Structure 1
């Protein structure tokens, strides 16, 4: 399958590293013009330079904006301009017991994980509809279906993304614009690697092996019995953003290694 996104302009939020960067790289390799985003000027500038080096000839720009508030979302929309592809990847996560999670944490997760996508979609979708073509993707999580007991606040925000994605798909029905969610499972992102670093240093095992042990202990329903790579998640996203995926909309597409024990 030859995915060609030449002439398409794509915005990927939180794309200076991890899954977001791999998505941006995959879209650039398919020919799209990329707008990267992160919270700091330094990380954004470094990501732009890295992507241009890894995908020679790619057209890449970057915008530093904190999407946990309306001002940051407005600044990103203003700087990015009209786009054909929007990947809502911005999000935060962390373990915390429900009874110790205060309103401030709930507000923070809702603002970052949910409202960032609400604001950007509200601003950028109408032009896609008018043009008759567009792709919006929310990077949710298997935690949106399989709510983790130690991250209920996170799981709820990821479930909300699924509802938002499905609702928007129905809202723009028949327009030529598709809206989908992609649900990664345990993935060896920069954040996960950092979380496992102490165990890597203690055991001397490679991070991939430590990560596989983590999956077997904490996500025993995993069928692949390992973490996914960020590239494996990006492959699904790039496909969903392609012209070939024109009949896929309103879907929750899992790249979870089979963690969610469901045949539907």
Structure 2
């Protein structure tokens, strides 16, 4: 494992620069090599320094962060720092390692950088995915209380689940099932790698997703929103399944 990750900050807001610099100083395994107000200013020096990690804002004058990422060669680990959640899907496409929504706490910052630091010492990464696949439970069905009966529901038939106050409405390929249950209990029953919570009122079957656009999921004829609370974890889950 590397002793330190060298890092750059590219951020045009002075206060945001200060916060990142302060957070980096608190972390023993991070070493700040430079702070810049725009990508053009950083580009030349990055070619020489080749930092391990880049904290990159999105909305900046002259050149935005998302347009800058494809220009990087070699490309460092990238953590986006932004006040806007609508870029999460684009960030996923660009293989960004983390997505920090401003204002973020030191705790959230530390969790992100610690994970990256640990990953650098445990490469090659695919071993994690292989281990996850090996331990995948073969959960083919669950039993739910529906009215006065206990109903067997095949997990592969579930499209998505919708919260309805004290009830959950489970949309399957053939029917809609109402059960007196909360999301926490249902998530304990379902295979975690096959389902994802994307909103306070929605949980989706990952293999039933047709497409995702503007933080909305299309499953069959239903558009399901991805809320700010779940957007980061959801895209990380998708990335981990690749």
Verify same fold: TM over 0.5: no
TM-score (structure 1 length as normaliser): 0.37
Q: Which has the higher strand share?
A: 2
Q: Which structure exhibits the higher relative contact order, with contacts defined as CA atoms closer than 8 Å and separated by 6 or more residues?
A: 1
TM-score (structure 2 length as normaliser): 0.40
Q: Which has the higher helix share?
A: 1
